[in-house]
Amino acid sequence: MNKKPLHIFFLLAGLLLAACSAERNNPLSKTYHNTTARYNGYFLAKEKMRLLEEKLQEQTVYDYSQVLPIFPPLDTATATALAADLEDIKKKASFPIQYHQNSKWVDNSYVLIGQASFYELNFEEAVRTFKYVNANGKGKDERHEALVWLMRSFIKLGEMENAQQVSEFLRKERLNKENARELYLTRAQYYRLQNDTAQVIENLALSLPNFEEKDDESRVRYTLGQLYQLTGQNKEASKQYSKVLRNNPPYDLGFFSRLNLGQVSELADNDDKERIEGYYQKLLKDEKNKEYRDKIYYEMAQFELRQQNYDKALEYLNQSLRTPGALPNQKAYSYVSAGEIYFENLKKYELAAAYYDSAVQVYPPQAAMYEAVAERRDILADFAQQYTTIQTQDSLQRIAKMPEAERLEFLQALVQREEEERLAALAQQQEQAQRQEQENRRNPVRNNKNASIGTSNEAGGVWYFDNPSAMATARAEFTRRWGDRPNQDFWRIRTRGETENMPAVVAQAPDSLAATAEEESPEERMQAQMATYQQNLPLTTIALQQSERMVEEALFRLAVIYSQNLQAPEEAIATYEQLLQRFPLTSHAAETYYSLYLLYGRTGNQEQQQVYYNKIKQQFPSTTYARLLDDEGFTAKNAADNLKVHALYDSAYAHYEEQEYKMALEQLQLITAQYPFNDIQDKVMFLDAMVAARTEKPEVLRDKLNRFKKEHRNSPLVKQADKLLATYQELEQKKQLRAEAPAPPAPKQQKEQLTPEQKVSTEIAQATASAAKAMPALPPANPPQPANTTQQAQPVVTAADSVEQQERVTANTDTLTEPAANPLEYTAAADSAYYFVLIYPNDAKAFADIQQKYEKYNSMYYKKEQIALDSLDFGEGKTMLVARSFQDPQLALSYNIKQKAPQAPIGRIRGIDFITFVISSANFEKFLQKKDPEVYLNFFKDNY
């Protein structure tokens, strides 16, 4: 028997067993472990990751009307759906690490595990993994790949500074094509979040030579073409779209590239225009584009808009809205485009507001442009209201000034024309209904399909409640006819604004509105409309003054919208000038002069700017606007002074509560003399009137209240002043007013309590802003409410011979003996503003430039909130940084929690004692006086 083959077999088996040891480092062992690691665990994990990324790309629904995302978006729903596959990738990638430690595929396996953590949205774990590879990896390419993914993880965490440092480090390294491509794309994502479009374009262009997959390259080229188009570089955009088409891209990408190519093509002559028009018509006829026809009509509208053919553009936009399609948000884009045409080009503001309102109805709230569209909708709604007010009142005034015979003839002709238009519209609707009925009879099969809920016919008809365009139009029509009513039962018979929780007050309405409309003859309808028009005409002096006042306020508001909301200085100047020309004595003269001073300065018209500078100095020398002209630091100084004024006002009110009227009056006079530009002038004047009610004759109170109403007509305290004046007039008619000033209050026994300066009622100071607890009164057991302020004021001006009034006086006097609540106690009541507070030691180097860091942080993450920062000396070697203000307490609390994150300015500070908390504006005033952070932190933990 030949034993040689057997010996060779045992020898090879021994060598193989020796190579299986992970501790050995000989060539045979390395070869074995490299082979088994690569083609076993790592290969399976890598292949599954490739399939997962392809699946993620395929599942992403792109909105080709917006700039495409550089990477597929990730969210919790996506991570949950991929969780099982990602866990399996981690498991497979762990085999080379556990069993083949001396192979060269360990670093690659760690990178795969880090990528799986990234797609699981566990970015912190991904950062740790990529850092480990960078610190311990043996292969240069693997370290570079880990660093690129580390940069992506930092971007996801919002740690932009760390991401920038990684990017700068990789600039010095030489990367392979795959890593270079991913680095350029990651940098483009970084700069996109920084709103640096030029850098995004540069890095996307650098990534193109490193692509191997044509579809991925085409997608990046399309994004690059979009950015070129947005920045006005149409030639470069045309090149990119043409290269996309030469790559034979997926159908969607090719279709939108063709559409965009038509938008950036040069229109040298009529031949070019006809060529592009024919191109769009060809796209419409192609059956493959059936689901994109609404987009084609939209692009045709944009093409007409380039040539300033606004009517034709609107025709195509309406066609786009009527045509169903599968593209997300296309209806919203068409509504917005129509709104822009009506507003910017045709100056039809009501229609513009209606189209923007419809856009908001069909726009998903999570869409990127939703907030901007909703904001423009609100601005245009306000604009349309003011513009309509001016047009309506001017028309009514013009008609009212006509001779009576001419006026009646004009109104009759107007009503007759409206009735004819109504009948013509009704006939057109009936004709359309008849045509539809005939069509349904000719094609019963198609009609049956339409009758099926949730199905659509070949012409694109959809179920009504699945048609966002029809729903938006119907909602706008309902609001126009019935007003903005809540969704509730019996809405038609409820008064407008009534809810189900309110008493069931039924509006007076006809028994059958439909029957009434049918039975009403044209003559009766015209007569009723005639009466309505005559009722609205300003035929009396008072009605004319009211009409003029409405026009004055509307003009001023319109100019403010132009200046501050629409950023249209030329239109704002023209409207302000029109206001001054029509109403030379307008109550808004000072603010109008200052606004024109700023607007002319912005437009470079120094001559006119000087004109309004002189007018402010001559006519309004003691106003805030006059101070703002010469003192650049006036705003900051005035803000600091306002804090002092609030403290003085609170002290004056505390004296008022204690019936120390002389001291309260001294504090109010000090505010008026030293701080004439304070922001609570209405409160100071109103409290002065209340002091007069307790110390002066009734006539003095009346005069002070009338002067208060004249100087602060927009103050929320005007309602309280009206109530007091009404009480005064009622008592005057009954001859129950006292003839002399009331006797000074009897001195009270000294009790152990806070001094008046410490007893600050910031609740009253805050309440006056909302007119909820506005009128200062004698201190009752509970906080004063507007409902009983009249009763509290009556004892001051009534005669003592009324038994009922004496009882009220006695009741109010008795309340003085009841203990008042501590006005400095923190409360959890809702407020209109909330602050974030950071208190830190002065000598800590980590806080050396903390304010600058927070300015950068807020600019990056909270830009829309427009947060202002103030730094105050807290005492005891500490500084207090205040970020103000948040209207939503939940947003403020979220801001406070996020300060623990690494991207926050204080997120990485360790070993230094500092505190952060959120505080309402009312509690903040108390906190400034008490400076008890430990007490407030306990209150904060219990209530927030």
CATH of the domain at 893: 3.30.70
From CA 464, how far away is CA 115, in angstroms rounded? 46
pLDDT at 817: 36
Same domain, 585 and 699: no
Evaluate whether residue 443 is within a structural domain: no
DSSP characters for 783-846? ---GGGHHHHHHHHHB-TT-HHHHHHHHHHHHGGGSPPP-TTS------S-EEEEEEEETT-GG
Domain termination site, one of 586, 610, 630: 630
Evaluate whether residue 161 is within a structural domain: no
DSSP state of 888: S
Evaluate whether residue 861 is within a structural domain: yes
Domain termination site, one of 614, 630, 646: 630
From CA 796, how far away is CA 705, in angstroms rounded? 14
Residues 6+ apart with CB under 8 A from 10: none
Range 130-149 burial, b when 16+ CB lie within 10 A, else e: beebbeebebeebbbbbbbb
Same domain, 704 and 622: no
Evaluate whether residue 642 is within a structural domain: yes
pLDDT at 790: 35
Same domain, 775 and 649: yes
Q: How many domains does the chain have?
A: 5
- Which two structure tokens, joined as six digits, stand for 358? 């419809």
Same domain, 808 and 672: yes
pLDDT at 624: 78
Evaluate whether residue 215 is within a structural domain: yes
HEC sequence for 377-398: HHHHHHHHHHHHHHHHHHHHHH
Same domain, 690 and 764: yes
Same domain, 761 and 859: no
Domain termination site, one of 327, 353, 375: 327
State the CATH number of the domain containing residue 618.
Answer: 1.25.40.10
Same domain, 658 and 785: yes
From CA 640, how far away is CA 642, in angstroms rounded? 5
HEC sequence for 88-130: HHHHHHHHHHHHCCCCCCHHHHHHHHHHHHHHCCCHHHHHHHH
- Which two structure tokens, joined as six digits, stand for 646? 């609030």
Give yes or no for a contact between 807 and 859, defined as CB atoms under 8 angstroms apart.
Answer: no
From CA 258, how far away is CA 252, in angstroms rounded? 10
Evaluate whether residue 38 is within a structural domain: no
For the chain, the farthest-separated pair of C-alpha atoms sits apart, in whole angstroms, at 143
Name the residue range of residue 320's domain.
267-327
From CA 824, how far away is CA 119, in angstroms rounded? 51
Evaluate whether residue 190 is within a structural domain: no
Same domain, 785 and 910: no
Evaluate whether residue 289 is within a structural domain: yes
Give yes or no for a contact between 719 and 726, defined as CB atoms under 8 angstroms apart.
Answer: no
- Which two structure tokens, joined as six digits, stand for 658? 């204690």
Same domain, 847 and 931: yes
pLDDT at 718: 86
- Which two structure tokens, joined as six digits, stand for 598? 């700023």
Same domain, 808 and 842: no
pLDDT at 191: 92
Same domain, 766 and 675: yes
Consecutive H or E run containing 880: strand 878-886
pTM of the model: 0.55
Q: To 5 degrees, how large is the angle CA 376–CA 381–CA 385?
A: 145
Give yes or no for a contact between 310 and 341, defined as CB atoms under 8 angstroms apart.
Answer: yes
Give yes or no for a contact between 917 and 881, defined as CB atoms under 8 angstroms apart.
Answer: no
Query: Which parts of the chain have pLDDT scores under 50?
Result: 1, 15, 17-22, 26, 28, 33, 445-463, 466-469, 495-517, 751-820
Same domain, 625 and 651: no
